[in-house]
Structures are given as C-alpha cells and as structure tokens.
C-alpha cells in the first residue's frame, strides 16, 4: 500500500472538533479511557482490535490496570494521515457505545 500523505496540523486540529476526547500529543492522536477494572479495559482493547484489523490500521495500546491509552499515527510516514482520523473515529464510536 503506498504511503498516505501527511495531514497538516490545521486539518488535524479541525478534525479534533469532532473528536473532543482525543488530544494531539507529539504529532499523534491520543485517547485515554478509564474502566472499572483490568478486565473491562482488556475487553475494550479486544473490540478495538477487531475494528483495527478490519481497517488494517492499528493503534499503539497501553493498559495500566483500568486505565487505557490508545495512540494513533501512521508509522510508515511518521505522522498523521486520513487513515488515523478514520481509526480514531471508529474507536470513538466504540467508546460511546460501551
């Protein structure tokens, strides 16, 4: 798959208006979520994994007991692309339906 073009910071910041729980940190999209326990965080990661596999685009995942951090960026181009925004929106839909 050819490398997707990087998005400008203005485009990313504009997209964040529709993703208010996401933050731009070090050129990456970051979403933190809290759960009742480790099992809840892990179950959510599994749901994200299914969606990410379908999109063939995967977030970086960090679980700290009941705290989850998802980081989205396109490693191949070292920044953010439209694929990252689509994945963030898909993750947000899952977060809203939990």
Query: What are the pLDDT tens digits along the chain (98 aa)?
Result: 566 899 999 999 999 999 999 999 999 999 999 999 999 999 999 999 999 999 999 999 999 999 999 999 999 999 999 999 999 999 999 999 98
Q: What SS3 state is found at 95?
A: helix
Which residue, 50, 36, 47, is CA-closest to 95?
Answer: 47
Alpha helices in 1-98 (DSSP H): 9-16, 38-55, 82-96
Report pTM: 0.94
| Domains of the chain with CATH codes | 9-96 (3.30.1360.20)
């Amino acid at each position: 798959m050819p490398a997707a073009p990087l998005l400008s910071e203005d485009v990313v910041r504009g997209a964040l208006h529709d993703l208010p729980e996401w933050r731009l940190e070090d050129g990456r999209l970051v979403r933190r979520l809290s759960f009742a326990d480790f099992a809840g965080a892990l179950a959510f990661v599994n749901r994200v994994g299914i969606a990410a596999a379908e999109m063939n685009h995967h977030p970086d995942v960090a679980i700290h007991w009941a705290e989850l951090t998802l980081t989205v960026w396109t490693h191949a181009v070292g920044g953010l692309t439209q694929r990252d925004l689509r994945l963030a929106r898909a993750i947000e839909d899952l977060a809203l339906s939990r």
